[in-house]
Amino acid sequence: MMNTALAKDLTIERIFSSPSLSGVPMRSVMFSPDGVRVTFLQGKADDKDQFDLWQYHIESGKKLILVDSKVLLPEGEKLSAEEKARRERQRTASFTGIVEYSWSQDGAQILFPLSGNLFVYNLLTKAVQQVTDSEDFDTDARFSPNGAYVSFIRKQNIFVVDLHANKTRQLTFDGKDTIKNGMAEFVAQEEMDRDTGYWWSKDEQKIAYIQVDESTVAITQRYEINADTIEIVKQRYPYTGEANVIVKLAIYDLSTDKTQWIDLGNNQDIYLPRVKWLPDSKTLSYQLQSRNQQQLSLNFAQLNGATRKILEENSDTWLNLHSDLYFLKDNDFVWASERDGYKHLYHYDNKGQLLRQITKGQWVVDKIKAIDEDRQLIYYTASKESAIEKHLYSQSMLAGAEGHKVSSKAGWHNITLDDTAQFYIDNWSDRDNPESVALYEITGQLLTVLNDNTINKNHPYYPYLQSHQKTSFGELKTADGQVLHYRIILPKGFMPENKYPVFVYTYGGPHAQMVTNSWGRVIEQYMAQNGFIVFALDNRGSARRGVKFESAIYKHMGGAEIEDQLIGVTYLKSLKYVNADKIGIFGWSYGGFMALKAMTKTDAFAIGVAVAPVTDFALYDTFYTERYMSTPQLNPDGYKSTAVFDDVKNINNPLLVIHGMADDNVLFTNSTKLFKVMQDQGIMFDSMIYPGAKHGISGEKSQIHVWKTISNYFIKHLQTGAAQ
């Protein structure tokens, strides 16, 4: 960090306008299959959320734009309702332009969707070819493994385009009404990290696909309230404890035009979270998970439909899904499991016999990045160095081997390896440096910086650099000795003899971390520059800490989490420079639920701000909620105590509730139910609702307004004399 910047303070307007204060990020960074170039999506300088397709040519060192989204679509995109929902699930709803793309295996072409149609960029001719031209919205498009076809979903059916013959072929025909072919169901997209429903075999002769039947799921009416209209959306939403969709698995043979259905067993009340072809293109793997998510099996299916179970995982609480199934050339495979209390890697033969545990220790593997079979090396990211950092490791697959840390800088490393495991792209940041992207040899030798995001005098954040406050990390302990990580930012102009209010920023839910040594949200710096101590703590239930740490919330969400946040409050009150009467809590989504629970269960917080909060998990979906809470039928007391309604009588301090009126994730009903209960009991509160807004309340103007509302609430109630 440089020390010659102007001591300029942040404003909410500047934080959420272009160019981004975090620099121009590179999204969806990929190696071309031939290893010649790196491609990525990058926002425009005057519109940080509209993405174009760029490349970095490794040999020449030149970086240039390949496809300008505004040239192809000068009038902007028009999205179908299905695509809007899909992007909301993928957390890309606020982005426009080219938001996804994929390579052909020969490295000669790039496929991308725009406004419902598909385009292919040819690197040799530098021409853009429109592959589909339909009034219907084509989605989930990709090249076949060898690039002979482009496949996509249209009107709930699977289509392929033969690129050589320029002919479109429809593969399924029964997709309509409640039947969807090749499409991921709602909970798969939202909760399983599976946003597709079909998979090519390596030989391009077969496509495995899921057929979803939604007829079993009850229709609910969801109101999307806009500024001047109200839309009644009829949606099949699987509320916890109620019916799920029925899923089937099939293999379609392109050469014979025949479909083989796979026998998934007699129990239809199951999940099908993962499907993957083996390298021989003759065997399909699929995972079945029980409705209570305490049993997971890996199964192999042959082309004739015969199936066999290869392995099974079991848990007394729940099993976390992962995508770390990696098939080797002989159909042996590497598999991840939490059976010893931490997520680690295991080597199996092709019959499901365990050969050895590859990694071990009181830390977790994040993800397999590549396997070099010739050298028997596996590359993965993990928390081995520190639970608040992510690093790249290499390790021999042979017995007794130890991992070797490849990444060197302290901080957070998001890694992409090339197909040959010779190079890697490192998206690195820490608390004082926004994400930069560099290209390395697998040895850790730097080859070139792809996106130098150093905060120099040309960087958007440079004028605010001297006002940037450092982050400190620390550890606290629960009563049973488990370690809680926290971070703290002291206010600008900090003087230890003064007393300061605190902005506690929480999320608190599963599969997430707030306390990481990575670039954070600039809004935290804004609060520090307005005289607040900024504090965050990862309570039990949060990610990357192992089974015992995560499962403390089982069947009673909002219990252990609040206990741990109060340990953080006790620590804050022990600091002489903290004003113990002016500690406020803020959270969004699960964090909003946490803020409400904190305000109803304790008087430790002077104010609370809850955005898009879950108030009753009976209003949430099956897969997420039942994983942690079981069903309302089996755990009625847990659901009742987790809901906030019975305890609103305990709210004595200012509370602000914010919600988007078209939220299709945490439904607006969560807040309206809360409003009614509080009104009936005479509990005063403040609210801000956003017509037409989804869960993220996205868009520059909306983001400015919502964060002004949040920050001004803290300033008004906890900070006297601060600028607003």
Q: Can you say whether residue 475 is alpha, beta or left, with left for phi > 0 and alpha for psi between -120 and 50 degrees?
A: beta
Environment class of residue 38 by beta-carbon count within 10 Å: exposed (0-12), middle (13-18) or buried (19+)? buried
Q: How many CB atoms lie within 10 A of CB 194?
A: 20
In whole angstroms, what separates CA 15 from the centre of its chain?
Answer: 22
Write the single-letter amino acid at 649.
Answer: K
49 is catalytic: no
Task: Give the dihedral of Cα atoms 48, 53, 58, 63; nearest 10 deg.
Answer: -50
589 is catalytic: yes
Nearest CA among 680, 520, 674, 487 for reference residue 593: 674
On whether the CB atoms of residues 195 and 211 are closer than 8 A, the answer is: no
**Dist CA 382 CA 20 (whole Å):** 29
695 is catalytic: yes
**Unique residue bearing structure tokens 């290893």:** 35
Check the CA dihedral 508-512-516-520 and report its sign: negative
Parallel, antiparallel or unpaired: strands 270-277 and 283-290: antiparallel
Query: Is cis: bond before 113, omega within 30 of 0?
Result: no
On whether the CB atoms of residues 168 and 161 are closer than 8 A, the answer is: yes
Which CB contacts under 8 angstroms, 24+ apart, belong to 114-119? 114/69, 114/72, 114/73, 114/77, 115/73, 115/77, 115/78, 115/79, 116/78, 116/79, 116/80, 116/83, 118/150, 118/152, 118/161, 119/67, 119/72
On whether the CB atoms of residues 22 and 461 are closer than 8 A, the answer is: yes
Q: Helix (H, G, I), strand (E, B), or coil: what is residue 573?
A: helix
Cβ contacts of residue 490 below 8 Å, gap of 6+?
Answer: 469, 470, 472, 500, 528, 533
Q: Given 22, 589, 671, 698, which residue is catalytic?
A: 589
Q: Helix (H, G, I), strand (E, B), or coil: what is residue 127?
A: strand
Tokens of 370: 């590549």
Write the single-letter amino acid at 147.
Answer: G
In whole angstroms, what separates CA 502 from the centre of its chain?
Answer: 28
Q: Given 467, 695, 711, 717, which residue is catalytic?
A: 695
Q: Given 663, 664, 698, 717, which residue is catalytic?
A: 663
The two counts, helices (H) then strands (E), for the chain are 12, 44
Q: Cα-flanking dihedrals φ and ψ of residue 367, to 5°?
A: -165, 140
Q: Cα-flanking dihedrals φ and ψ of residue 425, to 5°?
A: -100, 130
Instruction: Give the residue numbers marked as catalytic.
Output: 589, 663, 695
